[in-house]
Amino acid sequence: DMVLADDNFATIVSAVSEGRRIYDNIRKAIQFLLGSNLSEVLSIFTAAIMGFTILKPVHLLFINLVTGSIPALALGLERPEADIMRRKPRSKTDGIFAGGLGFDCAYQGILVSILTVIAFYIGEYLECLETGMAFAFTNIHDSTEGMTMAFFTMAMCEIFHSFNMRSQRASSVGMVFKGSHNVALYGAMIGSFLLTTAVVEIDFLSNLFGFAHLDLKAYLISLGLAVLIIPIVEIVKAIQRAVTKRKSK
């Protein structure tokens, strides 16, 4: 049911558009948060099986409160996508995971977890080079540099991944070239980026979190691993769009 507060039936179109935008943004925030939390669970689980500590509770708390929550809130301010009024009405029986959202959460969470574990092993390897210890994939010691690189990579992954979440299927990079911007999200990404860098690079803060100081090489490696989340998700989106287009013919 709908009650119009004026005599302009165009208001119905605006109401439907706004309703779809709100629903879309809720799904984007949910997908981002669930994928991020899944990556944390999988990373901790993998580390437990391999016998090392990849992240401590305080590290997870920082990620959840800063690089997770701030961008998620900014996603709620996303403008409606270009095709929002050309979509078919969704079924009333559709759940929140309809339209492949569950699959997207799963593969994106696994992807971030893989990048995080890789960062840990690279940090472990760099630390072994510095100390002269033997490097091994199993029975490794709790590496401070590996933990720091894993934290930084996961946090940066979430920051860059929030950019991917501007659309479930459309290219987020393409949206920028088409003039579609979310200033609030950009601000959230920059703010989270600076806070995370400060925690790792400022001695007072890094000591509180039990981090090792990352030199430029380790910093850029972690950052490079995190940036990979954007092109990989863009490729998967392109494949999903192609499959959907083929099915619709």
Q: What tokens were used for 187?
A: 């601000």
DSSP code string of 57-80: HHHHHHIIIIIIHHHHHHHTTPPP
Neighbours of 3 (CB within 10 A): 4
| Residues 30, 199: Cα–Cα separation, whole Å | 26
Q: How far apart are the first and last CA of the chain?
A: 34
Residue 133's pLDDT band, with cuts at 50, 70 and 90, is confident
- DSSP letter at 241 equals H
**What's the mean per-residue pLDDT of the chain?**
91
With 90 as the cut, is the pLDDT of residue 136 above it?
A: no
pLDDT per position as a tens digit, 220-249: 999 999 999 999 999 999 999 999 888 876
With 90 as the cut, is the pLDDT of residue 107 above it?
A: yes
pLDDT per position as a tens digit, 140-180: 667 789 999 999 999 999 999 999 999 999 999 999 999 99
With 90 as the cut, is the pLDDT of residue 90 above it?
A: no
Residue 97's pLDDT band, with cuts at 50, 70 and 90, is confident
With 90 as the cut, is the pLDDT of residue 199 above it?
A: yes
DSSP code string of 167-225: -SSS-HHHHHHTT---HHHHHHHHHHHHHHHHHHHSHHHHHHHTPPPP-HHHHHHHHHH
Look at residue 239 in the predicted model and tell me its pLDDT.
95
Phi, psi of 168 (to 5 degrees): -70, -35
Look at residue 246 in the predicted model and tell me its pLDDT.
87
Phi-psi region of 210 (alpha: psi -120 to 50; beta: other; left: phi over 0): left
With 90 as the cut, is the pLDDT of residue 43 above it?
A: yes
Q: What tokens were used for 104?
A: 């997207």
Look at residue 77 in the predicted model and tell me its pLDDT.
93
- DSSP letter at 137 equals S
With 90 as the cut, is the pLDDT of residue 78 above it?
A: yes
143-176: b (≥16 Cβ within 10 Å) or e: bbbbbbbbbbbbbbbbbbbbbbbbbbebbbeebe
Look at residue 95 in the predicted model and tell me its pLDDT.
83
